[in-house]
Chain A
């Protein structure tokens, strides 16, 4: 879909132009190439993109929707994007300067993803099944995946392995998208910057996105640096399209926001689509999620002041991670409501296997509007698979990685996505579904 906002009062010229190349299939080959929806991954070129002293070896696999493949011990997921071969600007701060001169056009290999999978400390276990009931609820079962397995170099620290994988995945994502730079895009999406206050009579709706910044292996990076010590800030969604936010948070698999998901932020996408129709897109505020209660309160108060200064009438508040992150979202919702800004929180629920427990650890006290992305403890029966990537075992199920197993949905990557990707929700047994 091409968005055309030229007639919209107060809308500016497009700041973001996504040249979308649809990918139908990923295969391995000798030379990276893109032809009519088929992405061939040059295996040696992929290894070169990931080359790092901290990695003794990497192995590259392809996994397409419908394959009888289970990906375990998944780390980050990245969508292939590029500004064009040799041009800087993707993943600013990681691959080059944080603010280089760069074209506003970005090539996107939509339908493809690159991902690392393997043992790393604090990586809570989970699965992506490319077929079956778990595939129906995971965003990463709908993508054609390039899966990178790795071996740690003997002398390398796990922190170095983590950093090497992060840089390597980003380089691989750009390398693959470069192959499509000369191809005619299947569609071009033009998106305007959020509107300045006072430029429209439509209600100004924005989004506040918490990034779970809680130390090594549980951190989120903005322009190449941990966001943990930052105050909330407004960020142009154009920067996010270009990968300014990179995920490195390996907590609950169902509740992580990968780099892929940040680049395709579902609430931003919705606000952009509706901008000029029944709302005016007011902006995106990103916030750290600290561990300390006083810091949570401080960050929340600051975020609400920022939204007020930016003229938000309403804000969708998103979180990342499990229980303590409920507080970050709830405190912000209350602060926003206190400032006269309507707040809507996006939460997954902890209602227990029978669905009778209280759904949140820390609910808002004054705000009331919440969207549910489903209950952690919903059990899924997963069939046996033919192959597994990322490891031989699923310890939480005490099973071989290809066995049939029963797992809570919270362990399916992206299934309860807190940026609002999915359609799962929870409802009282006695009510109709939303």
Chain B
């Protein structure tokens, strides 16, 4: 296979922090640590190019990796190998985003990074194998990365035994027996003493640490946000009733109240009649305006954010949370009331 190697400015030998702003650069042969990769991949695979980029430049331009992927494809790349990024967050983000970009184009790709590197999350369903914490672990880490690349090139699955880390995608497949029969089989297995058998392994959830308490509400701007799908009547922007993939902002500037008939809930998961009779039961603007009037809150934010929380995929919900936090934080909001349904 024709392999393109992505690496940062350090590993490419371009420079240190002084070169962290270096833009993506195509080298028509393996450079720096890419030469080690080329050796480890053996004769069957050829590193046809290296692409280097400065860590700061890569980490601060989220869309950059699409361009890097395009550069790689222009060299006829059949596979991307990125890193190892070790514990470097900026380098890891770049590698993770490159994997995510490659996944959308169905280009096989693999990266190496430390399991705690934030880039692991960026990779989505991409294949990440463990690397050590620092370049001292180069030999072993590059060895694992090259071995995973060889497996991937052969069309084989890279799993935990190969050092795979991060989220391993769950695939929907067809079983031999129908669900009811499998459930009864599982019940009998449990009764026979098997406590480990399951088709859904222990679900892991993010643990969210709440922000500290607001000391003086009368000094801060408060936002109202909701997953109750309350939108202007007629749903002009077509918010989904279920499995939402997006959220919407609507202005509250100069809006004193939410009269019945002007707003509606398009949430598909509950009967919206009470909400439609009094939209404040989803978005408590009435009470919020009173608190603002009384000076108990410093002010009400000039818009509300809304989505439909009904069968929403957790990755989307997580993204909404990040985007809402960024938007509110950027507007100087220091507290938000999230009404859930």
A424 within 8 A of B: yes
Of the candidate stretches B105-113, B238-246, B296-304, the one touching chain A is B238-246
| Residues of B with C-beta under 8 A to A342 | 187, 190-191
Nearest CB to that of A361 among chain B residues?
A: B314
B322 within 8 A of A: no
Nearest CB to that of B169 among chain A residues?
A: A355
Mask of B154-186 contacts with A, CB within 8 angstroms, 1/0: 000111100010011111111111111111101
263-318 of chain B: CB within 8 A of chain A:
268-271, 273, 309-316, 318
Q: A428 and B313: CB pair below 8 A? A: no
Are A370 and B240 CB-contacts (below 8 A) given A417-B179, A430-B159? no
Mask of A412-428 contacts with B, CB within 8 angstroms, 1/0: 00000101111111111
Of the candidate stretches B81-89, B192-200, B330-338, the one touching chain A is B192-200
> Which one, B125, B167, B271, contacts A218 given CB within 8 A?
B271
Q: B124 and A376: CB pair below 8 A? A: no
> Which one, B103, B158, B188, contacts A203 given CB within 8 A?
B188
CA distance A430 to B273 in the complex (A): 46
CA distance A159 to B205 in the complex (A): 40
B251 within 8 A of A: no
A122 within 8 A of B: yes
Q: A315 and B124: CB pair below 8 A? A: no
How many residues of chain A are within 8 Å of chain B by beta carbon? Answer: 75
B208 within 8 A of A: no
| Residues of A with C-beta under 8 A to B177 | 423, 434
CA distance A350 to B315 in the complex (A): 9
Return A216 CB to nearest CB of chain B, in Å. Answer: 6
Q: A346 and B179: CB pair below 8 A? A: yes
CA distance A347 to B183 in the complex (A): 10
| Residues of A with C-beta under 8 A to B241 | 124
CA distance A351 to B200 in the complex (A): 11
| Residues of A with C-beta under 8 A to B240 | 396
CA distance A363 to B199 in the complex (A): 13
B214 within 8 A of A: no
CA distance A270 to B309 in the complex (A): 35
CA distance A366 to B313 in the complex (A): 24
Of the candidate stretches A26-34, A43-51, A316-324, the one touching chain B is A316-324
Q: A344 and B187: CB pair below 8 A? A: yes
Q: B310 and A355: CB pair below 8 A? A: no
60-107 of chain B: CB within 8 A of chain A:
103
Nearest CB to that of A371 among chain B residues?
A: B183
B213 within 8 A of A: no
Return A377 CB to nearest CB of chain B, in Å. Answer: 6
> Which one, A217, A350, A363, A427, contacts B202 given CB within 8 A?
A363
Q: B180 and A355: CB pair below 8 A? A: no
Nearest CB to that of A351 among chain B residues?
A: B170
| Residues of A with C-beta under 8 A to B271 | 122, 214-218
Of the candidate stretches A145-153, A229-237, A271-279, the one touching chain B is A271-279
Q: B311 and A433: CB pair below 8 A? A: no
334-386 of chain A: CB within 8 A of chain B:
342, 344, 346-347, 349-361, 363, 368-378
Mask of A392-434 contacts with B, CB within 8 angstroms, 1/0: 0000100000000000111000000101111111111110011
CA distance A314 to B192 in the complex (A): 11
| Residues of B with C-beta under 8 A to A347 | 200
A251 within 8 A of B: yes
Return A12 CB to nearest CB of chain B, in Å. Answer: 21
A205 within 8 A of B: yes
Return A425 CB to nearest CB of chain B, in Å. Answer: 5
Return B159 CB to nearest CB of chain A, in Å. Answer: 3
CA distance A352 to B310 in the complex (A): 13
Q: A357 and B315: CB pair below 8 A? A: yes
Q: A376 and B243: CB pair below 8 A? A: yes
CA distance A340 to B129 in the complex (A): 41
A269 within 8 A of B: yes
A313 within 8 A of B: yes
Are A425 and B313 CB-contacts (below 8 A) given A279-B184, A434-B175? no
- A-B pairs with beta carbons under 8 Å apart, 11 shown: A203-B191, A270-B181, A350-B311, A354-B103, A356-B125, A357-B315, A363-B205, A370-B199, A420-B178, A426-B171, A430-B160
Interface residues, chain A, CB within 8 Å of chain B? 122, 124, 203, 205, 214-218, 251-252, 266-267, 269-271, 274, 278-279, 291, 313-316, 322-324, 342, 344, 346-347, 349-361, 363, 368-378, 396, 408-410, 417, 419-430, 433-434
Interface residues, chain B, CB within 8 Å of chain A? 103, 124-125, 157-160, 164, 167-184, 186-191, 195-205, 240-243, 268-271, 273, 309-316, 318
10 nearest A-B residue pairs (beta carbon): A420-B180, A420-B179, A430-B159, A266-B180, A355-B169, A352-B313, A357-B314, A356-B167, A342-B190, A363-B203
